[in-house]
């Protein structure tokens, strides 16, 4: 019986000595993984153009030839503005590029991606603004003779690039979809 008591005591003693508290190491802050569903496409028709947009968004006319495609879940929107070309194409392009590059003060980088679709007479560029700028994306498209459409993405929150990157990427994909499905009207 003494041997059983001695073995039990040794096991208990070993367990007590082996139970030490682990040093507390600060754990990194968790980041939410934001995923947004892929919506079906709806058609926006105006007197000058049409395009398809994400049905999860709300499209509305904001005034004379100005449109907003709102994404309430993301607290963001794509703002569009249409202008007729009246011998001022180079001025419209320069203004659009200037607006995009005004974000350079806060941006880490601005990536310009040209877009050319000669079959549909759509020419333009998408500007991806990386960093804590007010707008994460800007674009313009034109047929170079009559129509000029500009757009930009804004969020209704203070820009923090790391936090809004998933939403900004989602809206950039939607902008690409708008540009690719855009059709001018005569």
pLDDT tier at 33 (50, 70, 90 boundaries)? low
Mean pLDDT for the stretch of residues 139-143 = 97
Residues 85-93 have a mean pLDDT of 96
For 7-46, give the DSSP string: HHHHHHHHHHHH--PPPP-PPPPP------PPPPEEEEE-
Asked if the structure places residue 5 within a domain, the reply is no
CA distance 140 to 132: 22
User: Do 85 and 148 form a contact (C-beta atoms < 8 A)?
Assistant: yes
Residue 29 lies in a domain: no
Q: Is the predicted pLDDT of residue 115 greater than 90, yes or no?
A: yes
Residue 61 has a pLDDT of 92
Decide if 10 is inside a domain: no
7 in a structural domain = no
Does any domain span residue 152?
A: yes
pLDDT band at residue 64, thresholds of 50, 70 and 90? confident
Closest C-alpha among 79, 74, 132 to residue 104: 132
Confidence of residue 148 (pLDDT cuts 50, 70, 90): very high
Mean pLDDT for all residues in the chain = 86
Residue 41 has pLDDT above 60, yes or no: yes
Structure tokens belonging to residue 186: 């005569």
pLDDT, greater one: 140 or 30: 140
Domain that holds residue 138: 39-182
Task: Give the Cα separation of 102 and 64 in Å (integer).
Answer: 25
177 within 8 A of 39, measured Cβ to Cβ: no
- pTM, rounded to two decimals: 0.78
- Classify residue 174: in a domain, yes or no: yes
CATH of the domain at 154: 3.40.1000.10
In this prediction, residue 127 carries a pLDDT of 93
Region 27-53 average pLDDT: 81
Structural domain contains residue 108: yes
Neighbours of 124 (CB within 10 A): 23
Per-residue tokens: 170: 């989602």
Tell me what pLDDT residue 32 has: 57
pLDDT at residue 73 greater than cutoff 80: yes
End-to-end CA distance of the chain: 103
Q: Identify whether 119 is part of a domain.
A: yes
pLDDT at 155 over 70: yes
Whether the pLDDT of residue 42 is over 80: the answer is yes
Q: How many independent structural domains does the chain possess?
A: 1
Strand partners, 84: 147
Tokens of 185: 């009207």
């Amino acid at each position: 019986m003494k041997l059983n008591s001695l073995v039990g005591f040794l096991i208990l003693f070993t367990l007590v000595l082996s139970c030490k508290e682990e040093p507390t190491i600060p754990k990194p802050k968790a980041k939410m993984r934001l995923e947004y569903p892929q919506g079906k496409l709806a058609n926006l028709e105006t007197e000058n153009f049409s395009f398809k947009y994400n049905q999860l968004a709300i499209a509305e006319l904001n005034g004379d030839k100005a449109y907003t495609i709102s994404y309430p879940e993301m607290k963001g929107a794509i703002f569009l503005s249409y202008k007729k070309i009246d011998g001022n194409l180079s001025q419209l392009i320069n203004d659009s590029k200037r607006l995009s590059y005004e974000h350079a003060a806060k941006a880490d980088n601005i990536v310009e991606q040209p877009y050319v679709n000669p079959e549909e007479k759509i020419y333009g560029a998408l500007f991806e603004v990386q960093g804590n700028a007010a707008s994460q994306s800007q674009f313009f498209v034109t047929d170079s003779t009559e129509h000029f459409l500009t757009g930009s993405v804004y969020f209704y929150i203070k820009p923090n690039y790391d936090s809004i990157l998933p939403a900004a990427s989602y809206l950039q994909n939607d902008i690409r979809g708008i540009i690719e499905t855009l059709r001018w009207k005569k």
